[in-house]
Structure 1
């Protein structure tokens, strides 16, 4: 008899072999169901779908004993359905595989599901483990099929490892059945929850042994030759489908104009444009380490409502160069826009910013209102969800439709809207830029949404390590954006930017050793960046100002170690422009960005800064960026100039020449002169001498 035939005969029913190895007391609890083998899986699928519907009606949830996280039972059952469907798919593809062989474990799953879901709080741990057992049964079926095809001499070791794994699974299922029936079986088998947990944890060790033997048995080659099984395995890795067709059936009686009016009443923050600006200049492939991080994957896939906190050093999350700040939003959007159809509702997100010209971007009330607006409809132009329409009409009936909701009212609205979604994903970027005096209110609201929502809620927060944020979020799952984590991103960015600058002639334009210096620049800047994109950016820009190879080598040998050193160096260059007009323009550009109390479009901003030089004409966008290229960027999405990074604002606020009293005095002067029509004259003739050119380091107030 050939090895293949021997293996086929010996692996016909590994589950029965496993049951035979249990002691008699446990075997007595294996008689889960008297249904025919072929009926088990279909009945389980039917029962699970009924359970999902009950979850929608009854909003079943329970708290994890240790963490206190809220588990959404509907999501747990959705995972069971996923693995049942995959198991049936294997049976359809593989003629030789008999799904009836796994009838025993599926019957155990069915029994536990039926009993435990009647009292989810009592049997919480059992309910949460059911999808993991279902996944194991499904994956093992695929391994069994590959085992039957293998001629490897080590395949028998894999077979033995599978049987041992099945013993552990059946041991757990038998003990779990005893546990849920303990009122009747207390005399014959008394089980504590700890015993059940120990039995479940033993499965993990057996699974590791199967994985080791799988690699040694060389059955991977069999998978490569079977395209359909490869497709099934790829589906195994896909996230759970958390879309509801009910979201496509939402109706309202509003026309397009009224919908826009309602949404604008909730929030006028241009969140779509903020996202476009965050993506601008992102280097392809950066930030992907985050999506594969085990902590992130657990947060994303877990059936518990949870918050994940990404925190890092200043300068590590530069807006327009690092993919991390937008990668989570893009990942969630891809799930919604999947070619196979939506896999998950679109995320709600907000990019905070400490910018007086955009006060809503640091106001907790406005941030929460924007989240509510995004949850009010599944997509642009689509009908609004009933809770938002009802709240607007309530305000309209009270003749207060022009008044915005209070923070607590918005929180309550979000909880009502969440009931319509299988999952709500909320992404908050740069929480540290939210108003420190009031952001605790925002965090309290987020925590209450996590705690009170009957739907699954996933909240992702990024911030720097401000102490009040650390105190509030330190107990949540988190990871630090350290130099170790994003080193590859830094390396890709530095190499890409260096190559681009050299090709454009901005860097090493006169060099006779371009390749040698290119390699050294990439190596030195990457190694010294310590996780800070902003620092790397400024170093590369500084190298563009050098003409000789010797100067480049000298600069590389003594790179300024901190962001503040680099900013100080850049500011000195602005202050030392040869022409007084350029010095004035540069100071006014930075001054206006510091003191503006509303967002200025490009035309308004160019007009305002051009007042600095009488009869000097109107500056262009290119001239503004050229004068302050290390400090200022242009936001194409919102047609406005802004600081390149929060650290720029923080640096300038420490400088005496840019003290708030000085820049506000100059701004007031410019506005007054514009109003009285004398802005084209030399402004120094219209105000007391101590106010003349308050941004000039030589005036009395600045000194």
Structure 2
């Protein structure tokens, strides 16, 4: 430890007092707290001034004492007191230090950094530090010094832990923007939801034998836990997460991270988000895992960072490097089959298992894509016998705690237990729904009858529920299920899918031209009841499927020829239908008047709940479908509205995407620019066919970039190649960044531009080839 001088401590106290005075000027609350802290600090300063005056008590330099085996001297006790005082003052200074940026400084001036609990803790420590210093001044006996030494040790340990926690909080705050870019999805909320069920089941059959044995003695670094939909894999996974969280807390040489893929949030299905979240968690143990990623993030203009996802190769390398050290790294990922690209994420995980020496990766899935022939992977198929103990625990819990069942006669309780356990066949979901059905019965007789007539399989339960939908409501239910099932297939789409949005969506068909209040369902929440529990509304107001097995059922081959075939959904045509539905909404006469005065923009958003959803998601669907004649006609109809006053429906769409954009920008930008920015290749082909003389290099958007630069900047590499073949010029510079497409290609994240640019160069005259082949790092 650096030498401690009383003079430096006096300066620290003065600095803290000055900052408290400054807070007193800028912060309206917490005056009493500031006064109390200031009084204690002035008293501490008085004691330090007294010590400073007694030169005989101050050794030349106070160094850290290494030995505690003998009775400490007065000088040694003084050193420890001063060291502890220094640590305490440093922690106070850090909490009060000025923010780095002007914006953060303004925010800091508006917020008192201490809770009442922290203020009281600081006051207590100040009082104890003062008492120690006074005792050191007056202590003459070794016994007193020994007692004081013990007290100092206790407080020092308390301060060390307190500072460690607060330093971790500061790092998290400093990394917040980096994490929002690298790890936009947190698994915490999904884990909280999953643990509600895991408190009932035990999971001991897996954790106590398979999991712990694999972690300690397993020869393979990767473990696949496979089970059909509805077997309770996520519930079991949540129990494993709790177990490893506890193990990591007790073992400083163990780092743990986990993630839940879920169809209710498309962002949780993207491989870069999965790996980014894992790294964010692992950085809590060792921040060095972020070094290369932070350098990459800092090199990107902050106005563009959110548009440029981190390169998955960078994330993979960071995890492999981290897991090749001395610390054991354990990674858990749930429902990898619900990932946007399960094959690639499985390949990444297998690469970790092969290249990193100290890593263990556990994955739950309903099916495997790559494996398990690889020597680095084990696999366990969940059987009905394995789950029987957990299912029995769940049944017992419900029978003894549900209001409907806990007062039943023992004979009926026993009958329920035996019947459900016998017929469950390892399906946790079937057991849950069967129990829910029994709890709706109002008499013991009705319960016995329902028990004998329970559907034998999960799909039979779902089919029976759909049979209960009345003929008048079937259309609305099917439309609602369609929207909830396939909205989740596009990133961020689910963030707009509220009950209000679905209520508008289900009343609009492809022939609809106007939306008015008389068309709306009443009451607004009626769809939750009509859908028989198939959909649910979360705490944030977004609508999701109640369970992933519902989509499997609705899109299965079985339902196509079943008695509820009306509700069958076809995933192969879903994206095209969603695109048409969104465009139909945007083409409504309600938006024919074009972009609105800026004062009325948010009034429009409030009135039409589905506008945001349709505006942001139709391009995503258009980017992944090959449009046919129906879609082509609808897109042309929509784009033609830009010739109406205020750009018509097209202008309303642009203003929805960019509420603050200049109206002149909307009027001046050709749809080709936006189609390129969103990667809508089929739409681009249509526009080029309709208008062969189109100015493909026309400036567009907010800063006047070309369509090919917009496509390249958004990493739509196939779109860049399409535009280059159509005559786009990649050498034109973007006015904002001063880059052209060639400049982008020199950066690793845009390496996908190199092949189309190389192909383009091969068709150019020698002078252009000579100029741009100087980009030698990539031999364009």
Q: Which residue of 425, 428, 435 maps to 1:533?
A: 428
In 2, the alpha carbon distance for the partners of 1:680 and 1:272 equals 29
* C-alpha contact 1:602 1:640 (8 A) present in aligned 2: yes
Structure 1's unaligned 5+ residue stretches are 1-244, 379-383, 682-689, 692-703
Q: Deviations over 1:530-562 (max 9, x none)?
A: 110111122223334545655543443343222
Q: Deviations over 1:219-243 (max 9, x none)?
A: xxxxxxxxxxxxxxxxxxxxxxxxx
Q: Which moved more, 1:490-499 or 1:663-672?
A: 663-672
* SS of 2:386 mapped into structure 1: coil
Match of 2:463 in 1: 568
* C-alpha contact 1:610 1:619 (8 A) present in aligned 2: no
In 2, the alpha carbon distance for the partners of 1:472 and 1:266 equals 32
* SS of 2:384 mapped into structure 1: coil
Match of 2:287 in 1: 385
* C-alpha contact 2:497 2:542 (8 A) present in aligned 1: no
Answering whether residue 438 of structure 2 is matched by residue 543 of structure 1, we say yes
In 2, the alpha carbon distance for the partners of 1:460 and 1:421 equals 20
Give 1:474 shift. Answer: 8.4
Match of 2:213 in 1: 298
Q: Deviations over 1:646-666 (max 9, x none)?
A: 210122234554443656655
Q: Which residue of 541, 545, 566 maps to 1:643?
A: 545
Q: Which residue of 330, 355, 358 maps to 1:452?
A: 355
Answering whether residue 182 of structure 2 is matched by residue 266 of structure 1, we say yes
Matched ranges for 1:281-320 at <5 A: 281-293=197-209, 295-302=210-217, 306-317=221-232, 319=234
The higher relative CO (CA closer than 8 Å, separation ≥ 6) is in 1
Give 1:495 shift. Answer: 2.5
Matched ranges for 1:238-277 at <5 A: 257-277=173-193
Instruction: Note closer, same or farther for the CA distance 1:555–1:508 as it changes in structure 2 (3 Å cut).
Output: farther
In 2, the alpha carbon distance for the partners of 1:547 and 1:411 equals 56
* SS of 2:468 mapped into structure 1: helix
* SS of 1:425 mapped into structure 2: strand
Q: Which residue of 601, 606, 617 maps to 2:499?
A: 606
* C-alpha contact 2:267 2:491 (8 A) present in aligned 1: no
Give 1:633 shift. Answer: 3.4
In 1, the alpha carbon distance for the partners of 2:382 and 2:353 equals 24
Instruction: Note closer, same or farther for the CA distance 1:586–1:385 as it changes in structure 2 (3 Å cut).
Output: same
* C-alpha contact 1:521 1:556 (8 A) present in aligned 2: yes
Matched ranges for 1:316-327 at <5 A: 316-317=231-232, 319=234, 322=235, 324-327=236-239
In 2, the alpha carbon distance for the partners of 1:288 and 1:545 equals 31
In 2, the alpha carbon distance for the partners of 1:547 and 1:331 equals 40
Instruction: Note closer, same or farther for the CA distance 1:566–1:335 as it changes in structure 2 (3 Å cut).
Output: same
In 2, the alpha carbon distance for the partners of 1:428 and 1:478 equals 14
Answering whether residue 363 of structure 2 is matched by residue 461 of structure 1, we say yes
Give 1:498 shift. Answer: 3.7
Q: Which residue of 307, 323, 328 maps to 1:423?
A: 328
Q: Deviations over 1:485-521 (max 9, x none)?
A: 12111011122224444x1x4x799xxx754333222
CA RMSD of aligned residues (A): 4.0
Q: Deviations over 1:556-586 (max 9, x none)?
A: 334322221111111111245xxx4x55654
Answering whether residue 286 of structure 2 is matched by residue 375 of structure 1, we say no
* SS of 1:427 mapped into structure 2: strand
* SS of 1:478 mapped into structure 2: strand
Answering whether residue 267 of structure 2 is matched by residue 360 of structure 1, we say yes
Match of 1:329 in 2: 241
Instruction: Note closer, same or farther for the CA distance 1:587–1:544 as it changes in structure 2 (3 Å cut).
Output: farther
Matched ranges for 1:511-522 at <5 A: 515-522=410-417
* SS of 2:231 mapped into structure 1: coil
Q: Deviations over 1:39-93 (max 9, x none)?
A: xxxxxxxxxxxxxxxxxxxxxxxxxxxxxxxxxxxxxxxxxxxxxxxxxxxxxxx
TM-score by length of 2: 0.46
* C-alpha contact 1:362 1:434 (8 A) present in aligned 2: yes
- Figure out how many residues of one structure are paired with residues of the other and give that number: 408
Instruction: Note closer, same or farther for the CA distance 1:369–1:544 as it changes in structure 2 (3 Å cut).
Output: same
Q: Which residue of 453, 476, 480 maps to 1:589?
A: 480
Give 1:642 shift. Answer: 1.8
In 1, the alpha carbon distance for the partners of 2:413 and 2:167 equals 59
Instruction: Note closer, same or farther for the CA distance 1:275–1:651 as it changes in structure 2 (3 Å cut).
Output: same
Give 1:282 shift. Answer: 2.7
Instruction: Note closer, same or farther for the CA distance 1:585–1:303 as it changes in structure 2 (3 Å cut).
Output: closer
Q: Which residue of 313, 322, 331 maps to 1:408?
A: 313
Give 1:670 shift. Answer: 4.8
In 1, the alpha carbon distance for the partners of 2:381 and 2:411 equals 34
Match of 2:344 in 1: 441
Q: Which residue of 396, 409, 420 maps to 1:495?
A: 396
Match of 2:380 in 1: 479
In 2, the alpha carbon distance for the partners of 1:249 and 1:303 equals 34
In 1, the alpha carbon distance for the partners of 2:446 and 2:362 equals 45
In 1, the alpha carbon distance for the partners of 2:262 and 2:400 equals 31
Instruction: Note closer, same or farther for the CA distance 1:398–1:599 as it changes in structure 2 (3 Å cut).
Output: closer
* C-alpha contact 2:220 2:378 (8 A) present in aligned 1: no
Instruction: Note closer, same or farther for the CA distance 1:388–1:675 as it changes in structure 2 (3 Å cut).
Output: farther
* SS of 1:484 mapped into structure 2: helix
Structure 2's unaligned 5+ residue stretches are 1-160, 508-516, 557-564, 593-603, 611-629, 632-780
TM-score by length of 1: 0.51
Q: Which residue of 549, 555, 558 maps to 1:653?
A: 555
Instruction: Note closer, same or farther for the CA distance 1:284–1:567 as it changes in structure 2 (3 Å cut).
Output: closer
Instruction: Note closer, same or farther for the CA distance 1:575–1:598 as it changes in structure 2 (3 Å cut).
Output: farther
* C-alpha contact 2:293 2:314 (8 A) present in aligned 1: no
* SS of 1:496 mapped into structure 2: helix
In 1, the alpha carbon distance for the partners of 2:463 and 2:249 equals 45
In 1, the alpha carbon distance for the partners of 2:374 and 2:468 equals 41
* C-alpha contact 2:292 2:318 (8 A) present in aligned 1: no
Match of 2:595 in 1: none
